[in-house]
A and B are shown apart, each in its own frame.
Chain A
Amino acid sequence: MITVEQTDELHQCTQRLEAVLSTLFEQLNTLAAEVVTVWEALDAEGRKPTSKDLAFLQATIEARLLANDNYIHGTGVVLEPGELADQELFLEWFYRPSSGKIAPMMLNFNRQSESFYNYQGMPWFTRPKLTGEASVEGPFVDLYGTELYILAFSVPIFAKGHFVGVAAADIALHEFDQLLTRCLLRMKNEAFIINGEGRIVAANSANWFVGNIASRPAAARVHKLKPLSIEWSLVELPVPR
């Protein structure tokens, strides 16, 4: 029997989680909108954008990284090859190193090099490009960029209907966990969040380890979280925690 109270808890928890996700995606959409404004203005002038035309984003990005409640490790925009007149692969991206001072992210775009960082094949880039929708990749251990357990949030940037690139943010799960766990603790029953591949992103009980692939009991209630394109679900078990 599912009581009214339980339905209410699930509803509240879902709402809070969706509010967190929606704030994150709104911030990325703002970043995307700023790029679109510039792209349209330059298009009206008949000029192709260059990497310098993205430098103005630094102020928005730094403000985001300096915000108080921050769990964003790095954020910025990543461009589709062919969009810029002067660079093939390019990102306007800043991150917070452990030393505290915000720094631009340097990646290896030398195609001849073994450690060439080709983002064109990475899911956080390809998925929004293909679906036109918001995406979350991970959590995964990031060996190259940040050496943390990372969730990569991204939204596509479309200017006049064509794909320009993505606005994205790396979220360190060890920081984001606080927020997710607090939401989950409002449930009296055991509950966890799983991503599209069935991996546990956060849980409210030590019976469920973050990073494990969840074996879902048949009696669990599964509630898909919005935006649906990220394929996250809140799973509630018929077991008090």
Chain B
Amino acid sequence: MTQLNKVNRLSLLQVSQEGKPEEVARRLIEVIELGLIGEGEQLPSENELATRFGVATVTLRDALAILRQRGVVATKRGRNGGSFVCAPVEVSEDFLKARLTAMSSLELRDLCDEQIAISATAAGLAASRSSSAQHQRLEHFVTALQEATTRRELRRADARFHIEVAVAAQSVRLTHAEMRLQSQIGELLWIAMTDVQKSTVIAEHRAILQAVMAGESNLASALTEAHVKEGIKRLMDLRFALLGLQEATSP
């Protein structure tokens, strides 16, 4: 029998290693990256954001300060003041590779488990609940993925497809969960992607869409599960390769 001491049990509650303001800042950057808050748009008020993230206003102000420092938002004072989104920030591939390398195998597997729980369920429900207008939206994001060239565009179209599946499932909670998941791993999924791999992802999205349109719940769900696993496996392979390189060059 495994003996868990109190500290170990509590460590399950620990979600993130980074500080609160950094975490809020990262999540805001991700919402902006997904294009859900666009260039020139105003962020919700400090109070509203603090409530939404479940943090103190002080923490949120610190997060906004980080965003200003990185040039993601600019703050105007006065009656019509507030924080506005600046022109896009491009994160370097090296930075993302470093982030992936720092993750653990367990973390990636756990993300895979959670994403299957959320995305595959959403796809199954979307097959029975979505309207033809929603099929068109999904179709739009499959086409957007085909036409995307930069990592930002690819990542956005990919994430939006999965988020729209959850929207088509008519579930507010699954939509929120999918948005959070996409902001956590979405960007990593498009590091060092080859054309062949890109075509595979597009084909998988198209197959999921067809199952959703045909009202085939079980198929939509199974296809999504396989698609999620493929993505995470690729990340695991990439991480092993990167770690292997580091190991080979270290004394």
Contacts and interface: CB of A to CB of B under 8 A. Distances in A.
Interface of A: 97-99, 101, 103, 106-108, 110, 113-116, 123, 139-141, 143-144, 147-149, 197, 199, 211-213
Interface stretch (B43-51, B195-203, B227-235): B43-51
A98 B128 contact: no
Interface of B: 35-42, 44-45, 47-48, 51-52, 128-129, 131, 133, 156, 163, 166-167, 170-172, 175-176
B43 to A, nearest CB: 9
Contacts of B39: 108, 110, 113-115
Contact of A115 (B37, B52, B166, B172): B37
A115 B41 contact: yes
B56 to A, nearest CB: 13
A114 B38 contact: yes
Max chain A CB contacts within 10 Å: which of B133, B166, B170?
B170
A115 B38 contact: yes
B44 A213 contact: no
A199 B47 contact: no
Nearest to A173: B172
Nearest to A103: B45
- Most chain B beta carbons < 10 A, residue from A113, A141, A197, A211: A141
Interface of A (DSSP majority class): loop
B45 A213 contact: no
B42 A141 contact: no
Nearest to B46: A99
A6 B167 CA distance: 37
B57 to A, nearest CB: 10
Contacts of A213: 128-129
Contacts of A99: 45, 47-48, 51
A144 B129 CA distance: 20
